[in-house]
Every structure is written in C-alpha cells, then in structure tokens.
Amino acid sequence: MGKGPQIRLTQFLAGAPAQMERYEKAPEASRAIIDSAIDLRRFGHGPALPEAVLRKLAEASLDTELLDLLDPDWFEVALDYALVPCRGVSGPLRRVRRTARSQITEAAYQLSDYVEQVGRSARATIFPPAELVSVALQHIHDIEQIRAIASSLDKTGRSFYAAQLYLRAMQLGDYESGRSLAEALEFAEDLDGALEVARYLQENTDPNGSEELAYYLYRNNQSEEAEELCIEEFEKGNPKPWIKLRQAYDLDDRTGAYEDLGSRILSRKLPELYFYITTFGSKDSESRRDELIVALARRLQVSHDEAKKLLSEEIVAIEPRLELFARALEEHTEELKAATVRLNELAEKNRSGEGVWSETKRIHAAIADHEEKGDFGEARKEITKGLDSALLGLETLGNHLSKYDPSVSAEAVERHGVDWETRPISAWKLADVRRACQEALD
C-alpha cells in the first residue's frame, strides 16, 4: 500500500470519531441541520443536499421559542459549526463543489459517510417534521429526488403525502411519478382520479401513456373504449395496451373476455385465428387447420374450398400483425420472468438482512405481548415505531385498531393510509391531493 492510502486511512480512523463527537456536542441549531441532512438521506434524497432545503427543514424542526431567540444569521452560524474539519477530514457536513459536470446550480452540502451511517441507525424510528412535504414541494426541483422521497413516505403508510409529491413530480415532467400516482389513487379507490392521471400522461406523450389509459378505462367500467384503444394502438405497432389490459381482466377473473379481445386484435375478419395460433402445437397442425376451416365454413356458410381460400388470404394479410403479436407475448413472458427474479431477490435480501428481520420479529412479538396484557397504548407505540421505520405495513395497524374499535375498517386503514402522527385518515381523492399540493406551493 502506498503512503497516500495509508494517510487517508489514518485520517479517517482519527477523523470519524471526531466527526461524531462534533455532531453529538453540536448546539441545537447545528444539530437540527445535521439531523435534517440525515433525514433527507434516509428518505431518499441524493448525496448533494440543497442549502434552501436544509435551512427550511432545520427551521421546521426547531422549537418556535428557540427560533425567536436566535439571531437572523443563525443558519449560517450553525452551518459553519457543522463544516469545521475534524482531524484531517471534513466536518459532519462538507460543501459540494459546483462544476459543469455536477449540474448543481445552488449551494449544496454532503453528509460525512460515517455520520450518515450512524445517524440513519440512531434516527430510524424518529420521523421527520411534517414540513418535509411542503419543503420538498417548494424547494426541490429535481424530479428524481421528489419521487424518491414520495416512495419512502409511501412505504411508511403516508400515502396521501406521497401522492402530493408524485403529483408535483408528474407536473414537472416525470412520467414514472404519474404512474405511481395513478396506482396510489386506484388503491385508494379513486378510479376517476386514476383515469384522469392516465389521460394526462397520454396527452403529455408518456411512452407508456396508452397502456395506462387502456387499463384505467377498463377499471372505470369503460371496457369498450379500453378495447378500442388496444386495437387502435396495435394497428400502430404498439401491443403494450393489450398486454397491460391483461392485469385488469385478471382482477375481474375474465380471461375469456381477454382472449376475445386478442382474437379481434389479430383478425377482425376471422377471429377464430387467435385460438388457432394460441393453441398451435397442442395438436397436429394439419388436423388443427382442418378443424378451423370446417368451423369457418359453417360460420360463414361457404364451401370448404372457399373457407380454405379465405383462411390462406387472411393469414398472409395479418402476417405483420402476427409477428407483432408473437413478439408481444414473448416480451410479456420475459417481463414476468424478470418480475419473478426480482421478487426472489427481494425475498433473499429480506432473509439475509438479519438485523432488519430480527427487529421486525421483535416488534411483532412486542405488539402481541402488549395486546395480551391489555396494554394497547404500548402496543400502539410499537406499531408507530414499525411504521415510521418502514418495518411494518399498514395492515398491522389496521388489524390492531379493528380488534378494539368496531368502527375502524382494517381495509380502509390500509387503502387510505395515516397522517403524520400515524392516525388513520379518511378517504381522499385526486382533488384533495391537488388542493393540498397547491396550498403548499402558494
């Protein structure tokens, strides 16, 4: 090992504890800035943390009386404390250099790796101030950062707040956030809102807009419009809406209707071709073809030879569509395989994350123990910790509350989420999300 790496390692070993000591002994305002940086990273923000976001979030976390006593330049003074180098390494925070490649257009800071690692663990069950949402809406303009924070909030059951951020990111041009918003609205039982979002995505040239629109048209009992859209898009060489619609049909257990749509997409003139193609190989091909010709002759009331000629002509006519059809089915199969692999990887990751797994089991055991003793307040506290750290899902809270309060619906809790204090919230729709988002931006 050369002297350079040795020196850097020595500096780190000496500096990391000094960084933590400076963090732990920080004045309240400086501590608020560093904690805000940790929370932003915990909730998905990238390493470069904008100064305006840190300022507003730290301000929200400080007691109002303390803020009134601080000097006007309190943030600059508190930030300087966090930037002081520690035994050859940076302080708990360091400035991010603005370069042409970095695309950073405002003052930004980065947490020390060591402080971030320790801080993430220490603050795992401490939820950030509710102003996180309004700060993100007003001061974060990078759609990937907004989407990441929204996704993190979603995992803690704050789906209504996540929806506001998804909406904002969609308005800034992020199609992925728009699709997440539509999914959240569908789960919250606002199918009209989900359809409105899908229309917006298609009108704003989302590459996947047509498939989303077809799906939500069907979910809104507009199956004819959904199917016509699938047929139109297929004619343009886009089979994705037809593939996506399979999910909607499966939810309604209407596989037969989906196959009927496939037959019309493949050939409106001879819909029987779909079943011939999709069952090809299950019997001798010649025998299967003869059966099809007999069926066509009977339906069209023509001779066997005429039916045979019609079939041959139609097969030639639909050959490009048939190739697209086969490719779409193949791609869909590959997507399903990839999804299965991802699920298996996630399951393996959960099993290998012994710390997380053991903590989740501990929380469940503690909840059961408190419930058995009739100590529902303590059980509720454990559930809140689990939700705040994304170790538990809303179903745990819903089941707990519905046991002791018949007026509480476990399903409603799971569908609509909780407020910042983990209290169940009432049903919400796209109009409510839009209103809350606009109020934060005004």
Mean pLDDT of the chain: 89
pLDDT of residue 315: 84
Enter the DSSP assignment of 97. Answer: P
Over residues 257-273, the mean pLDDT reads 85
- The sign of the CA dihedral 67, 71, 72, 76 is negative
pLDDT digits (tens, 9 = 90+) for 122-173: 998 899 999 999 999 999 999 999 999 999 999 999 999 999 999 999 999 9
Residue 55 sits in which domain range?
Answer: 10-123
35: domain CATH number? 1.10.10
- Residues 303 and 187: their CA atoms lie apart, in Å, by 53
Q: How confident is the model at residue 422 (pLDDT cuts 50, 70, 90)?
A: very high
pLDDT of residue 50: 95
- Is residue 245 one of the residues assigned to a domain? no
Provide the number of structural domains found in the chain: 2
Enter the DSSP assignment of 404. Answer: H
Q: How confident is the model at residue 346 (pLDDT cuts 50, 70, 90)?
A: low
Tokens found for residue 164 = 């506001």
Q: How confident is the model at residue 309 (pLDDT cuts 50, 70, 90)?
A: very high
- Is residue 101 one of the residues assigned to a domain? yes
Residue that terminates a domain, selected from 123, 150, 176: 123
- Is residue 297 one of the residues assigned to a domain? no
- Residues 379 and 369: their CA atoms lie apart, in Å, by 8
- Is residue 397 one of the residues assigned to a domain? yes
Over residues 83-96, the mean pLDDT reads 91
DSSP 22-61: HHHT--HHHHHHHHHHHHHHHTT--S-EEHHHHHHHHHHH
Query: 27: Cβ–Cβ under 8 A, 6 or more apart, which residues?
Result: 78, 81
Q: How confident is the model at residue 9 (pLDDT cuts 50, 70, 90)?
A: very low
CB distance 242 to 328 below 8 Å:
yes
CB distance 114 to 69 below 8 Å:
no
* pLDDT beyond 80 at 372: yes
pLDDT digits (tens, 9 = 90+) for 28-69: 999 999 999 999 999 999 999 999 999 999 999 999 999 999
CB distance 198 to 209 below 8 Å:
yes
pLDDT of residue 12: 55
CB distance 220 to 232 below 8 Å:
no
- Residues 426 and 404: their CA atoms lie apart, in Å, by 19
- Is residue 68 one of the residues assigned to a domain? yes
Cα separations in angstroms, 118 against 112, 170, 382: 10, 34, 22
DSSP 276-315: HHHTTTSS-HHHHHHHHHHHHHHHHT--HHHHHHHHHHHH
Q: Per mean pLDDT, which range of 80-89, 97-106, 137-146, 248-257 is the poorest? A: 97-106
The Cα angle at residue 393 between residues 389 and 398, in degrees rounded to 5 = 125
Residue that terminates a domain, selected from 96, 123, 150: 123
Over residues 98-111, the mean pLDDT reads 77
- Is residue 276 one of the residues assigned to a domain? no
Q: How confident is the model at residue 351 (pLDDT cuts 50, 70, 90)?
A: low
Q: How confident is the model at residue 281 (pLDDT cuts 50, 70, 90)?
A: very low
pLDDT of residue 5: 46
- Residues 358 and 283: their CA atoms lie apart, in Å, by 53
- Residue percentage of the chain with pLDDT more than 70: 91
- Is residue 111 one of the residues assigned to a domain? yes
pLDDT of residue 87: 81
Over residues 171-192, the mean pLDDT reads 97
Residue that terminates a domain, selected from 123, 141, 161: 123
* pLDDT beyond 50 at 282: no
- Is residue 339 one of the residues assigned to a domain? no
Backbone angles phi, psi at 284, to 5 degrees: -55, 130
Q: Per mean pLDDT, which range of 54-58, 159-163, 209-213, 277-281 is the poorest? A: 277-281
- Residue percentage of the chain with pLDDT more than 90: 64
